[in-house]
Amino acid sequence: MFSKTIFKNGLRIITVPEKKSRTVTVLVLAATGSKYEKKEINGISHFLEHLLFKGTKKRPTPIDIALPLDKVGGLYNAFTSEEYTGYFAKVSREHLDLALDIISDIYLNSKLDPKEIKKEKGVIIEEINMYSDHPSSYVQILWNKLLYKDQPAGWDIAGTKESVMRISRKEISAYMRSQYTASNTVISISGGVEKESALSKIKDYFSNISFKKPFNKLPVIENQKEPECILNSRKTDQTHFCLGVRGFNIFDQRRYAQEILAAILGGMMSSRLFVRVREELGLAYYIRTASSSETDTGCLFSHSGVDSSKVEKAVSEILKEYKKISKNSVPLSELKKAKDNLKGKMAIALETSDNLASFYGIQEILEKRILKPEEIYDKINRISARDVLRVAQEIFKPKNLNLAVIGPFDNKNKFLKLLKI
């Protein structure tokens, strides 16, 4: 069972005690990410995530932060998304104080050393280069760009090389002071920990967190009226692509039918697209379908890499499956398999303290409410074959189709012509 506590300053704490767990995870989430940025500072959320491990007054160098956790075999890292940034440490439960001390220190007291800022710009540019050189990853960045164009939801979380080089220490410091505040922060602790002890410790370690009110993100604008395609032309051995449609956000109850739809299409090795595109036709090594839901956006897309001479065949086959599932009701046995697959994956993930912390903490940071696993299982169980058919019919329409492509092609018109259901 989890507990949610809100301090007077607005700081939210989620505690998830697991008596049998020998580990404990401290996860601190800030409700800010790339959707909160302006174009001239695109990438600042991700940049700040890097910098928090570069030194504090108490721990002036990166090794001073890393070494104590390394000595106890701790796992620690950070991540940036479109809508939140997270910092965590997972340690054996007797080292809870160490994890809290270090994560609170970097979150509240980072120096933002100008020398480290200059150095880290080079590191982030190499990270951007790495993803750009990896077509199967970069095509997913193109996918967001295709859907949302020149607005925060369409920008790369890491920023561009130009925007990263422009960002100043003053801008980073101002952004941190504005967004890393009590009311904008969720602390999720799970594993071998007692609630009251955790709350007492957090009150001490986070006593100097700012009370400042954060700024909000701009609403996402969506106005697609016809099929769209984006092409990144380069010499590659394979053509990588994302093909799909806009879907439902995290507050829309249809998201559960959308998740089941994605599982049926390409969420497992016995899914329709895996069987058809890989096993029967031998067109691809990897093919998967994903459902994504954020606070103000949602989508469903299939992602694959194929021989460049066979990309049109692969796209056509995926579209055939989209059409089929929007015309014919899913058999009950296939529906049950998809439901059990989603519930089973969740159950397996929630056996570890770090996934438990993320499960509860991210719900709180995005939705400001938390559903227990059993409540989510119930929502999944309630989805009928008719619900899945209705959602498929709503999203799989010709005007909703989108295709992002990386491959040795000069003209996207050949792909636009394929976008029909």
Residue extents of the structural domains in the chain: 3-205, 228-416
Handedness of CA 381, 382, 388, 394 (dihedral sign): negative
383-420 confidence digits (pLDDT tens): 999 999 999 999 999 999 999 999 999 999 999 999 99
Q: How would DSSP label each residue in 110-174?
A: B---HHHHHHHHHHHHHHHHHHHT-HHHHHHHHHHHHHH-SSGGGS-TT--HHHHHH--HHHHHH
- Tell me which residue of 49, 105, 110, 98 sits closest to 72, measured CA to CA: 98
Whether the pLDDT of residue 273 is over 90: the answer is: yes
Is the CB of residue 142 less than 8 Å from the CB of residue 232? yes
Q: How much is the pLDDT for 195? A: 96
What's the whole-number mean pLDDT along residues 26-51? 98
Which is it for strands 185-191 and 23-30: parallel, antiparallel or unpaired?
antiparallel
Residue 304 in this model has a pLDDT that exceeds 90: yes
In the predicted structure, residue 172 carries a pLDDT above the cut 90:
yes
Which pLDDT value is given to residue 63? 98
- DSSP conformation class of 181: B
Residue 382 pLDDT greater than 90, yes or no: yes
Indicate the average pLDDT of the chain.
97
* Spatial distance between the Cα atoms of 30 and 222, rounded to a whole number of angstroms: 26
140-169 pLDDT per residue, tens? 999 999 999 999 999 999 999 999 999 999
SS3 (DSSP) at 189:
strand
> Per residue in 329-362, pLDDT tens?
999 999 999 999 999 999 999 999 999 999 999 9
> Phi, psi at residue 178, to the nearest 5°?
-75, -40
The tens digit of pLDDT for each residue in 107-139 reads: 999 999 999 999 999 999 999 999 999 999 999
pLDDT of residue 1: 87
CA angle 236, 238, 241 (to 5 degrees): 105
pLDDT of residue 226: 97
Taking residue 251's Cβ as centre, other Cβ atoms within 10 Å add up to 14
Share of the chain above pLDDT 90, in %: 99
**What would the mean pLDDT of 253-274 be, rounded to a whole number?**
98
Total-model pTM = 0.96
Q: What superfamily does domain 228-416 belong to in CATH?
A: Metalloenzyme, LuxS/M16 peptidase-like (3.30.830.10)
**CB 172 within 8 Å of CB 51:** yes
The predicted pLDDT at position 339 comes to 98
Hey, which CATH number is domain 3-205, 3.30.465.10, 3.40.50.261, 3.30.830.10, 3.40.720.10? 3.30.830.10
User: Average pLDDT for residues 279-285, to the nearest whole number?
Assistant: 98
Residue 265 tokens read as 């299409």
The tens digit of pLDDT for each residue in 70-116 reads: 999 999 999 999 999 999 999 999 999 999 999 999 999 999 999 99
Per-residue CA distances from 200 to 2, 22, 407 (Å)? 17, 21, 55
